[in-house]
Amino acid sequence: MTIRALRLIGDPVLRTACDPVVRFDDALARLVDDLLETVREPGRAGLAANQIGSSLAVFSYNVDDEFGYLINPRIVEVSGSQDGQEGCLSVPGIWAERRRAATAVAEGVNLRQEPVVVAGTGELARCLQHETDHLQGVLFIDGLEPPERRRVMRQLRQDQVASAAGGRPPAD
């Protein structure tokens, strides 16, 4: 098991839909182990395979007392609505108000190709939706309301300029 480096916004792998898993082999088992190990780091709720550079449809989650993974996940049921702050490991330093379903049910399989169902409310529901979006090449900022999206894009540009200037604000 290895804690893997994260891919950040701007990396094309984050904007590419992941491929369904068709080979259940040792390489997939290593990927799942790495996803589980990497999501255990403090402050992490979920992690999609493309966030560590893999193009396979797998994610791990670690919310409250729920810890696990799904292979070839899909959201099969949502209900209700919740507004809340959402962030992303691949978009560091950005938090934004995002509406999601309050309850979500995801289905997939495990390494033995057995069906797995994960149902959650609140933060787990948010995580299931967020990670499933990742596997489709969608970032959480894509679903923000227009004023919030403009604010976030402005902040991302400012952060990019500051980073290019070596962490210093641009000169006037």
Annotated catalytic residues are 131
Structure-token pair, residue 65: 């007392």
Structure-token pair, residue 5: 């480096």
d(CA 84, CA 97): 5
Say if residues 103 and 125 touch (Cβ distance below 8 Å): yes
User: 159: which residues sit within 8 A by CB, 6+ positions away?
Assistant: 93
Structure-token pair, residue 22: 């068709």
SS3 70: strand
Structure-token pair, residue 1: 């098991």
- Beta partners for 91? 88
Residue 73 phi/psi, 5-degree rounding, is: -75, 155
